[in-house]
Amino acid sequence: MRLRSGDVVTYTPDRGRSIEREGFAIHRPSGTFDTFWGIGHERGHRLTADELKTATLVGNLNDFRTAQLTDLKITNPRRLMVIPSQHGAVRLSFVRIRDREHLADEAQAS
């Protein structure tokens, strides 16, 4: 799979190495990094070639914006992307940018 900057993937961590691995990663120009330590830096684990072989694309951060409180009622997986860290204790939510009008309609209907 050819990744673009900002791509978010799920992957299977190498066996025996899952303690500080979330199983979610973000591709940056310098590599693909697990989200266990967060999404804003490259301090965490860089995926190995074997881990990259298991990667499945979730979305691209450039197509989303950080969710606002009113957006969190949205449950449609095509419109909402959740990226976990710290084994799910921290969850960052993002809303697809181009669906902003539809999101407002859904939020009002909820």
Give every CB contact of residue 52 below 8 A, 6+ residues apart in sequence: 1, 11, 32
Sign of CA dihedral 81, 35, 89, 67: negative
What pLDDT was estimated at residue 43? Answer: 72
What pLDDT was estimated at residue 58? Answer: 94
Q: Are 38 and 18 in contact (CB under 8 A)?
A: no
What pLDDT was estimated at residue 39? Answer: 78
Cα Rg, the chain, nearest whole Å: 15
The pLDDT averaged over each successive group of 10 residues in the chain (110 residues) is 94 84 93 88 84 96 88 77 89 79 55
pTM above 0.85?
Answer: no
**24-28 sheet: strands from edge to edge:** 31-34, 24-28, 7-10, 56-60
What type of residue sits at position 49?
A
